[in-house]
Amino acid sequence: VLGLDPDPARLWPSAVKAAESRAAADEAAPDGLAGSAAAVRAARAVVSHCRLVLEATAAECVAVKPQVACFERLGAAGWAALEQVVGAAREHGLLVIADAKRGDIDVTAAAYGQAFFGPVPTPFGSVPGLGVDALTVNPLLGRDSLLPLVSAARATGAGLFVLVRTSNPGAADVQDRALQDGGTVSDRLAALVAALGADGTGAAGISDIGAVAGATAPEHLERLRRAMPTTPFLLPGVGAQGGSVTDLAAAFAPGPAGGLVAASRAIVYAFEKSGGPPQQAARAEAARLRELTWAVARQP
Amino acid sequence: VLGLDPDPARLWPSAVKAAESRAAADEAAPDGLAGSAAAVRAARAVVSHCRLVLEATAAECVAVKPQVACFERLGAAGWAALEQVVGAAREHGLLVIADAKRGDIDVTAAAYGQAFFGPVPTPFGSVPGLGVDALTVNPLLGRDSLLPLVSAARATGAGLFVLVRTSNPGAADVQDRALQDGGTVSDRLAALVAALGADGTGAAGISDIGAVAGATAPEHLERLRRAMPTTPFLLPGVGAQGGSVTDLAAAFAPGPAGGLVAASRAIVYAFEKSGGPPQQAARAEAARLRELTWAVARQP
């Protein structure tokens, strides 16, 4: 899974140049972006950057995972850029996992469901929503906060990835705490995820309710896999955060689709280590990670 | 605190009419909104609705709490509407608390910090971000996920409200779980919040790092107040969710600013119960809640 976390201050140089020349050539041609001049230009550069990364790596990937925070920081123009990047990923035949980690009480969760899966009824007609294939969600508010998101996802044939054990060191502060009645907070979340996904496990033996399980803490994976036998694991943290694909075998117990290895900075900034054009370095690193992943995923 | 959770399918009728007549009169005049025709019209109606609610109730409130999900569901046009509503709240002299419940690993938390507090450096100049006074955040990812948000808030004189014990029934699923070494998950979150806020407690004895403590579960408030003596509590859930202002005395122990009572649907849809014009019913309900709150807040 290609993570797209575009930092406007660290885009591929050719994307910045493309946005500059577009700005100079014809500001009048509408491209669906609105906001301050800086926001619109930066959003255009973000779209160019993501298109270039997609062109370089799409053939090595099954899905793209845009980090919504990175778009949101450019305001309305950034949200329009996100819509365009989702469209570009679809043109490449990729699934789209919106990495937004949303979570709120029921009525608000339903609004997030509309935002990411659509549709949104209005007096002026229906608004489609972002229309992604899956959304990452935060379960701190409990089961009733997840149910509207499960419904919204299922209504469009989409799914969720629920945070269970994240990839950052601070995950230990809350998620690894031992509970009085056994297990950790993460184990409790895993039970919640397994229960929510039980109704959504299809013929292939994989559920529509996934779990985020950081690749940086593989010592948890076997236990989490036992607790969630049909849950697809989204495994971020490979590369820049220190995770290694070869440690992730437990994720693939239900089959090769049991684990989705996500990498972002490791691919996009590969050229800073390897030298050469960003496109070529990104494609090479994506291919390397794909091969590593398949080697682990196909182990008996 | 006036909660603004605009549902495009349930706006004040005069706001819908205003958006319709604007659409009919002059679609060509740019107002910073872009997107599909339905999204732009709905976003205009959302802005009109929020302006009307603000005009009716601003004098009774200290702050406005826009629910970001409700804007996000209209895509780029919705985000532009959010920016306009934040501006309108400022014109009324209100503080702005973005209710977004964001939370993610450090590099992404920094991006959310840019989105909500700004600024965002880009090759085309600085983008200001939403520029709110406070943001609600989700602490499931632990301390290191909150630090970039604390820094971003402090750099602009703003603050955070960290989820500690939310207002929904499902809060019990995770937040009320007993930990092996004593207390509940919420107690653990409270300790995290108190530690983060220790450096940010000003001369008035109130910290810049607040806590969300649902008004629907007042039985937790005394314990949470002891754990977080200088933390301002954001208290959602009054009215539509069943919470009552008179149960919230413990929140105000450090002084009247120790508690921020938030109501949204109770104010905005007061006319459905009371009859009469929405403006008048909203003002009356906001005034009633303000008086109740002050009566509780000023108790010795």
Q: Tens digits of per-residue pLDDT, B113-162?
A: 999 999 999 999 999 999 999 999 999 999 999 999 999 999 999 999 99
Distance CA A4, CA A170 (A): 23
Is the pLDDT confidence value at B46 over 60? yes
Judged by CB atoms closer than 8 Å, whether chains meet at B9 and A74 is answered as no
Judged by CB atoms closer than 8 Å, whether chains meet at A75 and B11 is answered as no
Judged by CB atoms closer than 8 Å, whether chains meet at B123 and A16 is answered as yes
Beta bridge partners of A99: A67
Residue A183 CB-density burial (10 A; 0-12 exposed, 13-18 middle, 19+ buried): middle
Distance CA B292, CA A144 (A): 30
Is some CB atom of chain B closer than 8 A to the CB atom of A171?
yes
Query: What single-letter DSSP state applies at residue B177?
Result: P
What confidence score (pLDDT) does residue B299 get? 79
Distance CA B56, CA B82 (A): 19
Mean pLDDT of all residues in B183-193 = 98
Distance CA A212, CA B115 (A): 24
End-to-end alpha carbon distance in chain B: 22
Distance CA A99, CA A1 (A): 12
Catalytic positions of B: 101
Distance CA A18, CA A30 (A): 16
Is the pLDDT confidence value at B300 over 80? no
pLDDT in tens, B245-256: 999 999 999 999
* Contact present, B42 and B9 (Cβ < 8 Å): no
Residue B55 CB-density burial (10 A; 0-12 exposed, 13-18 middle, 19+ buried): middle
- Sign of CA pseudo-dihedral A78, A119, B23, B2: negative
Point out the residues of chain A with pLDDT beneath 50. Answer: 29
What confidence score (pLDDT) does residue A293 get? 95
Q: Which of B9, B32, B189 sits opposite A122 (nearest CB)?
A: B9
Tokens representing residue A299 in the block: 């182990």
Residue of A nearest to B170 (CA): A142
pTM given for the model = 0.97
Q: Would you call A231 helix, strand, or coil by DSSP?
A: coil
List helix spans (H) across B73-138: 75-91, 106-117
What confidence score (pLDDT) does residue B43 get? 96
Tokens representing residue B192 in the block: 């995290």
Distance CA A194, CA B66 (A): 33
* Contact present, A174 and B138 (Cβ < 8 Å): no
Distance CA A78, CA A46 (A): 8
What confidence score (pLDDT) does residue A32 get? 65
Burial state string for B86-117 with b = 16 or more CB within 10 A and e = fewer than 16:
bebbeeeebbbbbbbbbbbbbbbbbbbbbbbb
Chain B, 55-94: which have a CB under 8 Å from a chain A CB? 67, 69-70, 72-80, 83
Tokens representing residue A107 in the block: 């009525």
Distance CA B201, CA B196 (A): 10
What confidence score (pLDDT) does residue B242 get? 86
CA dihedral A143, A148, A149, A151 (to 10 degrees): 110
Beta bridge partners of B162: B137, B211
Q: What's the angle, vertex CA B2, arms to CA B22 and CA B161, rounded to 5? A: 120
Q: What's the alpha-carbon Rg for chain A, to the nearest Å?
A: 19
Chain A, 182-201: which have a CB under 8 Å from a chain B CB? 185, 188-189, 192
Is the pLDDT confidence value at B24 over 90? no
Tokens representing residue A59 in the block: 């053939």
Burial state string for A94-110 with b = 16 or more CB within 10 A and e = fewer than 16:
bbbbbbbbbbbbbbbbb
CA distance B199 to chain A (A): 20
What confidence score (pLDDT) does residue B21 get? 83
What confidence score (pLDDT) does residue A239 get? 83
Is some CB atom of chain A closer than 8 A to the CB atom of B33?
yes
- The pair phi, psi for residue A56, each rounded to 5°, is -70, -35
Is some CB atom of chain A closer than 8 A to the CB atom of B246?
no
Q: Which residue has the higher pLDDT, B106 or A23?
A: B106
Judged by CB atoms closer than 8 Å, whether chains meet at A142 and B112 is answered as no
Distance CA A90, CA B258 (A): 49
Contact list, A120 vs chain B (CB under 8 Å): 8, 42, 73-74
What confidence score (pLDDT) does residue A23 get? 64
Mean pLDDT of all residues in B25-35 = 60
Q: Work out the pLDDT band at B26, boundaries 50, 70, 90.
A: low
How many cross-chain Cβ pairs, A to B, lie less than 8 Å apart? 293
Q: Which of A37, A129, A169 sits opposite B144 (nearest CB)?
A: A169
Helices A143-155 and A185-197 pack at an angle, to 10 degrees, of 40
Mean pLDDT of all residues in B62-71 = 98
Burial state string for B19-52 with b = 16 or more CB within 10 A and e = fewer than 16:
beebeeeeeeeebbbbbbebbbbbbbbbbbbbbb
HEC profile for A174-209?
A: HCCCEECCCCEHHHHHHHHHHHHHHHHECCCCCECE
Contact list, B108 vs chain A (CB under 8 Å): 5, 67, 69-70
Is some CB atom of chain B closer than 8 A to the CB atom of A39?
yes
Is some CB atom of chain A closer than 8 A to the CB atom of B6?
no
What confidence score (pLDDT) does residue A31 get? 63
Beta bridge partners of B160: B135, B209
Over chain B, what is the mean pLDDT? Answer: 94
Judged by CB atoms closer than 8 Å, whether chains meet at A141 and B241 is answered as no
Mean pLDDT of all residues in B243-269 = 94
Contact list, A7 vs chain B (CB under 8 Å): 111
